Amino acid sequence: DGGITQSPKYLFRKEGQNVTLSCEQNLNHDAMYWYRQDPGQGLRLIYYSQIVNDFQKGDIAEGYSVSREKKESFPLTVTSAQKNPTAFYLCASKEGRRTEAFFGQGTRLTVV
């Protein structure tokens, strides 16, 4: 089955620790995205990538980093510089010039 897999579904980390969220897709999509959802704020774009070895900052990139070494994978690292890391993180991918993106099931990160 083709799709987008995010792991883990729930993640707990201590304050000050970096943590990496996994996103893998087998849809052969070129573009991949990371969004963050907070209550009452909708989905906000963190980073996106159009092709391998290239990525751009979204609207709220501070405190986050990404890599795109393979077409299938777009991991997101939440660094200790992110002031409010507790949130629901969503990865998405999109094919070529189509406008609809398809989302993974999300990772809920809780920093204690």
Partner 1 sequence: DQQVKQNSPSLSVQEGRISILNCDYTNSMFDYFLWYKKYPAEGPTFLISISSIKDKNEDGRFTVFLNKSAKHLSLHIVPSQPGDSAVYFCAASSLYTGTASKLTFGTGTRLQVTL
Residue appearing with tokens 């209550």: 39
Q: Rule CB under 8 A: say whether 35 interacts with partner 1.
A: yes
Closest CA to 26 of 66, 71, 68, 67: 71
Q: How far apart are CA 59 and CA 62, in angstroms?
A: 9
**Which one, 9 or 70, has the nearer CB to partner 1?**
9
CA 87 to chain centre: 12
Among 27, 44, 52, 71, indicate the residue that binds partner 1 (CB under 8 A).
44
Site mask, partner 1, residues 80-109, x = CB under 8 A? --------x-x-x-x-xx-xxxxxxxx-x-
Residue appearing with tokens 């991918």: 93
Q: Give the interface with partner 1 as residue ranges (CB under 8 A).
A: 4, 6, 9, 30-31, 33, 35, 40-45, 48, 50, 56, 58, 88, 90, 92, 94, 96-97, 99-106, 108
